[in-house]
Chains A and B, each alone.
Chain A
Amino acid sequence: MSLALSDIQRIARLARIRIADQEAAALHDQLNEVFRLIGEMQAVDTSGVAPMAHAAELAQRLRADQATEPNQREKFQAIAPAVEAGLYLVPRVID
């Protein structure tokens, strides 16, 4: 199965990465090479095989419902691109 050029812009949109049209053409070739490699999987009969989601098949641990981390808002906001009055600034989303 191969990707259409239009797929590149569609997945770039889903991934929130702007891709210029000439860049999309080069990516289209490269990704199709990768998908040819990935396609080798399709010949394998895996009926009845349980998927392995994780190397260590663990149950999620639970912990007591207690705050364990101190408030470090100032420290964390000091490295943010834009903050004001303790809030992260982003472009207006509601007019």
Chain B
Amino acid sequence: MIDATVKTLSAGLSAGKLSAVELAEEFLRRIDAHNGRINAFITVDRDLTLAEARRADDLRAAGKAGPLTGIPIAQKDIFCADGWLTTCGSKMLSNFVAPYDATVIAKFKQAGAVNLGKTNMDEFAMGSSNETSFYGSVKNPWNDQMVPGGSSGGSAAAVAARLAPAATGTDTGGSIRQPAALCGITGIKPTYGICSRYGMIAFASSLDQAGPMAKTAEDCALLLNTMAGFDPRDSTSLERPSEDYARDLDRPLSGLRIGLPREFFAAGLEQEVAAAILAAVEELKKLGATTVEVTLANAKLAIPVYYVLAPAEASSNLARFDGVRYGYRAPEYTDLDDMYCKTRAQGFGAEVKRRILIGTYVLSAGYYDAYYLQAQKIRRLIADDFAQAFKVCDVIAGPTAPNTAFKLGAKTDDPVQMYLNDLYTIPANLAGLPGMSLPCGFDRRGLPIGLQLVGDYFAEARMLNVAHQYQLATDWHMRKPTL
């Protein structure tokens, strides 16, 4: 049961072979047995989960079941879920029981899915290794000396370790794709504006986007069908007709044009990763695809641009954490200003403080043109490069990360080294394009390697098609770690 896809579990539930309560019990047992070591979940609440499972079984009995009714889904702890502790990986929200549902959570609830628990993450989604979480590092299920990636590392580790059949993540600079790659699972960040950001704790609002993480592309399509959709409560939600992201899964790949950006295969890419990516591209060619070299000349500037824009937006978004209306408040202070300063000094971790300070600096008087405006202009150049590339290809392929999982603690003292991990994922966020990662091999230490696909705006169904056809021809996505 634990190795089954969401698709298979859904069929089992429909056929009456298992109940939502049995399924939830099975995964809660797995979490009890293994979460102590992997630390993928911050909050597990047996009573809340089983109440949702009973409700799912009732919906089915009443003939109101859909494809996700009774499916347990691990929710990244960035999504507010009514009645659930929602920490965002921070001490600042260590006592925050959300008073409402994020739209993504509400949509899952409406579909009858079961909230299996809240997954660990880098604090306020700021990190690439899950080591900035106030609740301790997540261990990579393939090797517990290694990081799972971040920021959605708890979600990725939970799916890889079979503690959950699927999970949600969010991706501001690679936070779905990079941990998916490092843990050997599949994850997709849709086009910006497809999934509502309402109730999703904000990091960098012009980049943040939610998406599903699962074993297969087919499962991601199923989840995305529920997560996506216009939401009047999010001012950047896109008003588009709803679509079936699974509609193209079975389409043959003949005629598919894959763009290979030469910049994604340049210095800095581990040789074993490069070899696995090129082998995956060969496999796609066997399935009928052709390749063309494309140029993303400004992609190398994505990291500098991101480390201006994302901290600038974060410094503004995180100003709300002041110890007045919710969350942590310093126990001792002399006046209001002292209360703010101590609350924020004690409530935020080191990486969050660094980013707030960077953002405050680049937005401070006299520096706007040199930093923020320049970054916005280069953001345009990066988006234009993609637009040129998509004139000659349908999908771009390359590595998700320059390396496989690295050792816990290896980069924690060197922020810049940590930031470089997102070299290949950030460009899609800046442009607002959909990107995904899927397993395509292992290095000689047995650590997973992720293939990244980037598509044009709203090309999710096509990307999921490419990934699904690849997964029909290979079995990397079905490999699992020994716990």
Residues of A within 8 A of B (CB): 1, 3, 7-8, 11-12, 14-19, 27, 30-31, 33-42, 44, 46, 49-56, 58, 60-61, 63, 72, 75-76, 78-82, 88, 90-93
Contact = CB atoms under 8 A, between A and B. Distances in A.
B304 A52 contact: no
Interface in B435-454: none
Given A63-B232, A79-B326, A91-B333, A50 B374 contact: no
30 contacts: A1-B370, A7-B361, A11-B360, A16-B322, A17-B341, A18-B344, A18-B345, A34-B419, A35-B358, A37-B303, A37-B307, A37-B416, A41-B301, A41-B304, A41-B305, A41-B375, A42-B374, A44-B374, A46-B377, A51-B373, A51-B379, A56-B191, A61-B232, A61-B235, A63-B232, A79-B99, A81-B326, A88-B324, A91-B338, A91-B339
A17 B361 contact: no
Main secondary structure of the interface of B (DSSP, over half): helix
- Sorted nearest first, the 3 A-B pairs with minimum C-beta distance are A55-B432, A51-B376, A46-B377
B235 A19 contact: no
Contact of B415 (A3, A34, A61): A34
Contacts, number: 166
B193 to A, nearest CB: 4
B344 A17 contact: yes
Given A11-B357, A52-B383, 15 more contacts: A15-B344, A16-B319, A16-B344, A34-B419, A38-B304, A40-B301, A55-B429, A56-B191, A56-B236, A61-B232, A79-B96, A80-B326, A81-B323, A81-B329, A91-B338
Nearest to B457: A56
Contacts of B353: 17, 19, 27
A54 B207 CA distance: 8
A57 to B, nearest CB: 9
A52 B341 CA distance: 33
Interface in B406-424: 414-416, 419
Contacts of B97: 79
B391 interface: no
Interface of B: 95-97, 99, 191-193, 206-207, 232, 235-236, 238-239, 298, 301, 303-305, 307-308, 315, 319, 322-329, 333-342, 344-345, 348, 353-354, 356-358, 360-362, 364, 370-371, 373-381, 383, 414-416, 419, 429-432
B416 A91 contact: no
Nearest to B382: A52
B305 A18 contact: no
A36 B415 CA distance: 12
A55 B206 contact: yes
A50 B379 CA distance: 10
Contacts of B342: 18
Contacts of A54: 206, 236, 432
A45 B354 CA distance: 28
A50 B345 contact: no
B378 A46 contact: yes
Given A46-B377, A50-B380, A55 B431 contact: yes
Contact of A33 (B371, B375, B416): B416
Given A11-B364, A44-B301, A44-B378, A31 B357 contact: yes
Contacts of A93: 335-336
A95 to B, nearest CB: 11
Given A11-B357, A52-B383, A72-B99, A88 B325 contact: yes
Contacts of A34: 307, 354, 358, 415-416, 419
A38 B339 contact: no
Given A11-B357, A79-B96, A38 B380 contact: no
A61 to B, nearest CB: 6
Contact of A18 (B193, B328, B336, B341): B341
B352 to A, nearest CB: 9
B99 A15 contact: no
B377 A49 contact: yes
B15 to A, nearest CB: 41
Nearest to B315: A15
